Amino acid sequence: MSAENEPVLTVQDGDTITFETYDCFTDQITAEDQIVEALDWNKINPATGPIFVEEAEEGDVLEVTIRSIAIGDTATLMTGPDLGVLGDVLKSTTIKRVPIKHEKLLFTDDITIPINKMIGVIGTAPKKELGSISCGVPDFHGGNMDTTAITEGTKLYLPVNVQGALLALGDCHAAMGDGEVSVCGAEVPAEVTVTVRVLKEHHIPTPYLIKDEYISMIASAKTLDEAAEMATKNMVKVVETFAELNSDEAIHLLSLAGQLRISQIVDPNKTARMELPLRYLKHLK
Ligand code: CA
Ligand code: CA
């Protein structure tokens, strides 16, 4: 993701757009016995886009409402040496292809897993001075956040760092657990329909999301500890502002009612989130 990327489409504030996305292997894997070494690793984790949102200017916030995530009937999994939490133990890379039927992943003959569709990579262009950031890396612009709450019905809020925002997304999963411990979700190509809206003079730290009845501050950093602290401190700011509490009251509230969650622990930056029911923020419109 980069300020230099040419937009593939220009849209207006309020428009609804459908992104067609490859899976994280650019659809290169079609069989479990495929030779992993033969894959083009420069094609891993692509994002579709970017789109230029006409009214979006540096300093604004882009609201992305996820209307739907349509997926096919097969997901791909991969893990192996140097990948994921078991990367120091596994001796060889394995591919698993999993059929999807009646809203379930048919993991084995007797294990099924409910689908939990989500977007792994979604972000705006980073600030110009940061150059380009790989779609594999989550950071202040969003990116590879691998957050299970980025799903149908969610409103995601991303910073606008450059004119037009330059929104791109990809790496959809049919299911993933918090942590993404193997290094991948149930990887699928998808059609993702979103509505974009530009918010001016919006002062909540990004990225964050609103889903159902809660707000969740998302943060990525070199370590999970740093990411968890950043997400929590950003939520403290939100509580101070919208519940009108001072810092010590705000952190007490989060200690009692906030849920600090792991998004993923396998990407070049780790991602955590702090979640709080919206009912505590009575001044948030
Ligand atoms: Ca990912
Ligand atoms: Ca993925």
Per-residue confidence at 269, pLDDT binned at 50, 70, 90?
very high
CA of 46 to the centre of ligand 1 (A): 10
CA of 208 to the centre of ligand 2 (A): 20
CA of 15 to the centre of ligand 1 (A): 26
If asked whether residues 233 and 184 sit together in one domain, one would say: no
Phi and psi dihedrals of 109, rounded to 5? -60, -35
Tokens 């009108």 — which residue?
Answer: 244
The model's pLDDT over 226-248, given as tens digits with 9 standing for 90+, comes to 999 999 999 999 999 999 999 99
Whether pLDDT at 37 is above 90: no
If asked whether residues 193 and 213 sit together in one domain, one would say: no
Provide the residue range defining the domain that includes 195: 9-30+40-199
If asked whether residues 177 and 231 sit together in one domain, one would say: no
If asked whether residues 184 and 145 sit together in one domain, one would say: yes
If asked whether residues 180 and 243 sit together in one domain, one would say: no
**Average pLDDT value for the chain:** 97
Beta carbons of 55 and 11 less than 8 angstroms apart: no
| Burial group, residue 56, by CB count within 10 angstroms (0-12, 13-18, 19+) | buried
User: Quick check: is 178 in a domain?
Assistant: yes
Classify 257 as helix, strand or coil.
helix
The residue among 169, 199, 229 that closes a domain is: 199
User: Quick check: is 285 in a domain?
Assistant: no
> Crossing angle, helix 247-257 and helix 224-242, to 10 degrees?
120
- Domain count within the chain: 2
pLDDT mean over 99-106: 97
CA of 180 to the centre of ligand 2 (A): 9
The residue among 199, 234, 253 that closes a domain is: 199
**Would the pTM count as exceeding 0.95?**
yes
User: Quick check: is 2 in a domain?
Assistant: no
User: Quick check: is 97 in a domain?
Assistant: yes
The model's pLDDT over 186-207, given as tens digits with 9 standing for 90+, comes to 999 999 999 999 999 998 999 9
Whether pLDDT at 279 is above 90: yes
Rounded-to-integer distance, Cα 193 and Cα 170, Å: 12
Rounded-to-integer distance, Cα 143 and Cα 156, Å: 12
Compute the residue count for the chain.
Answer: 285
The CATH number linked to 270 is 3.10.28.20
If asked whether residues 75 and 193 sit together in one domain, one would say: yes
Q: Residues lining ligand 1 (ion), CB within 5 A? A: 120, 144, 146, 171
The model's pLDDT over 48-70, given as tens digits with 9 standing for 90+, comes to 999 999 999 999 999 999 999 99
Q: Looking at residue 285, what is its pLDDT?
A: 78
User: Quick check: is 1 in a domain?
Assistant: no
pLDDT mean over 153-165: 98
